């Protein structure tokens, strides 16, 4: 018998039935009154998720498109920027920046670790005279499962470099970790549909501060497809400057309704619970977590190492073949070294328990003895504690 796959990767995440249902809608005119009504609901809901009083731009593009949009709309070739790098996706900020002719400096920490406010403070104090036009952060570094404390890091930046644009990749953190653009004084945040928004990929979102909008006014080559000015004008009239991905937006409308119905705080609690369960379960099975520090662990994805003698390939293949459960490999240098369980988006406590039970069976089958039910026992306990701590 073939069951549908259970996708436990850090995006695309499983899709709610309500989203799948509208994805197969008949064709819809993107300039119709009906579609404007959809956008009229979607735009303010996006503002609630980003916690911003300003418009959130809706791009038909994947998250990387929004990352380029963040920079090409606010910075000019030659501008000095600082990128905090600790994995593949924070590295992408600096790759894009180089393509745009920006003058890139990086502050690197090893994969699996986060940037601490103390470390950033020290670095920025030593570079007090450098005029960084922007400092780029990654909230949840998807390639390793680290959550960088963007709120605290931004506070540190404001002490020495108050005018720098703080630009954050919140692609796998939004709708999973707490985030508040305005209150935290962040200038730009970008996110993607196939993550906390529980949609297929193809849409991305960009929220921005007044400071970022000001920077856009003196940007010389903001391009066309991602141009802030064009989106700002169109969205005021509940439309988009170019033909948008109508069906993904119908899905977005359904997904945002689910998120707001659950309550954004509850969504964040559910992810914290998924994370606590996964970490506790893996540890109880004697597995080594890649992110050691609980405080820096992403609520969206948990990485762990294969036990001595087993390969990442064998474990992932066992989960897929016997249980139709998909977990992710490491990326680039971490390929074959770590595995990543995504517990992001439309993922419940049940999915986490399912994955941990299946992992126990696969590990035993591959010759790594796990005490029967150890992972599940620890995860269930962590779940109870997570619920209690939020009560």
Site residues for a second copy per CB under 8 A:
4-5, 7, 9, 11-15, 20-21, 23-30, 32, 60-65, 68, 72, 77, 95-96, 99-101, 192, 194, 200-202, 221-227, 241-248, 326
- Closest approach, Cβ 229 to a second copy, in A, equals 10
Q: Work out how close the CB of 65 gets to a second copy at its nearest, in angstroms, rounded to a whole number.
A: 5
Q: Crossing angle, helix 349-365 and helix 374-390, to 10 degrees?
A: 160
Distance of closest approach, residue 322 Cβ to a second copy, in angstroms: 17
CB of 98 to a second copy, least distance (A): 9
Rounded least distance, CB 20 to a second copy, Å: 4
Q: Which is nearer to a second copy, 10 or 306 (CB)?
A: 10
- Of 149 and 251, the one with the shorter C-beta distance to a second copy is 251
Q: Give Cβ neighbours of residue 9 (< 8 Å, ≥ 6 apart).
A: 326, 327, 328, 340, 342
Rank residues 96 and 146 by Cβ distance to a second copy and give the closer one: 96
Q: Is the Cβ of residue 95 or residue 125 nearer to a second copy in the bound state?
A: 95
Query: Cβ atoms within 10 A of the Cβ of 307, count?
Result: 17
Q: Rounded to the nearest whole angstrom, what is the least distance from the CB of residue 193 to a second copy in the complex?
A: 9
Minimum distance of a second copy from residue 59's CB (angstroms): 8
CB of 104 to a second copy, least distance (A): 13
Residue closer to a second copy by CB (options 19, 120) is 19
SS3 of the chain? CCCCCEEECCCCCCCCHHHHHHHCCCCCCCCCHHHHHHHHHHHHHHHHHHCCCCCEEEEECCHHHHHHHHHHCCCCCCCEEEEEECCHHHHHHHHHHHHCCCEEEEEECCCCCCCCHHHHHHHHHHCCCCCCCEEEEECEECCCCEECCHHHHHHHHHHHCCCCEEEEECCCCECCECCCCCCCCCCEEEEECCCCCCCCCCEEEEEECHHHHHHHHCCCCCCCCCCHHHHHHHHHCCCCCCCCCHHHHHHHHHHHHHHHHHCHHHHHHHHHHHHHHHHHHHHHCCCCECCCCHHHECCCEEEECCCCCCCHHHHHHHHHHHHCEEEEECCHHHCCCCEEEECCCCCCHHHHHHHHHHHHHHHHHCCCCCCCCHHHHHHHHHHHHHHHHHC
Q: Which is nearer to a second copy, 195 or 211 (CB)?
A: 195
Q: Which is nearer to a second copy, 11 or 114 (CB)?
A: 11
Please state the closest distance from residue 237 (CB atom) to a second copy, in A: 14
Q: Which is nearer to a second copy, 65 or 114 (CB)?
A: 65
> Considering beta carbons, is residue 4 or 391 the nearer one to a second copy?
4
C-alpha distances (whole Å) from 313 to each of 288, 306, 308, 329 are: 17, 9, 13, 8
């Amino acid at each position: 018998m073939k069951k549908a796959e259970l996708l436990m990767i850090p995006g695309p995440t499983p899709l709610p039935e309500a989203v799948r249902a509208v994805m197969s809608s008949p064709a819809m005119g993107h300039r119709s009154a009906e579609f404007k009504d959809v956008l009229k609901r979607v735009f303010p809901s996006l503002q609630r998720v980003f916690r911003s009083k300003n418009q959130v731009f809706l791009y038909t593009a994947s998250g990387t498109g929004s990352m380029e949009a963040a920079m090409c709309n606010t910075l000019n070739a030659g501008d000095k920027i600082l990128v905090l790098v600790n994995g593949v996706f924070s590295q992408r900020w600096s790759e894009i920046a180089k393509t745009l002719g920006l003058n890139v400096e990086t502050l690197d920490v090893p994969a699996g670790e986060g940037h601490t406010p103390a470390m950033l403070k020290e670095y920025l104090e030593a570079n007090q005279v450098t005029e960084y036009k922007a400092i780029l952060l990654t909230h949840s570094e998807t390639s390793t499962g680290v959550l960088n404390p963007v709120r605290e890091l931004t506070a540190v930046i404001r002490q020495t470099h108050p005018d720098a644009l703080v630009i954050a990749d919140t692609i796998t953190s939004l709708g999973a970790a707490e985030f508040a653009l305005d209150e935290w004084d962040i200038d730009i945040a970008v996110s993607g549909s196939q993550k906390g928004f529980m949609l297929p990929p193809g849409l991305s979102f960009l929220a921005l501060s007044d400071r970022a909008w000001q920077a856009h006014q003196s940007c010389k080559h903001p391009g066309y497809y991602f141009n802030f000015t064009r989106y700002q004008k169109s969205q005021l009239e509940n439309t988009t400057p170019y033909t948008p991905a109508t069906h993904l937006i119908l899905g977005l409308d359904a997904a945002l309704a689910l998120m707001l119905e659950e309550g954004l705080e509850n969504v964040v609690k559910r992810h914290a619970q998924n994370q606590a369960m996964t970490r506790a379960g893996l540890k109880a099975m004697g597995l080594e977590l890649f992110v050691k520090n609980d405080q820096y662990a992403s609520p969206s994805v948990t990485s762990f190492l294969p036990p001595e003698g087993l390969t990442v390939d064998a474990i992932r293949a066992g989960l897929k073949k016997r249980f139709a459960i998909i977990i992710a490999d490491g990326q680039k240098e971490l390929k074959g070294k770590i595995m990543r369980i995504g517990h992001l988006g439309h993922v419940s406590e049940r999915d986490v328990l399912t994955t941990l039970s299946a992992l126990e069976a696969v590990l035993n089958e591959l010759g790594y003895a796990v005490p029967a039910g150890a992972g599940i026992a620890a995860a269930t306990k962590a779940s109870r504690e997570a619920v209690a701590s939020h009560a």
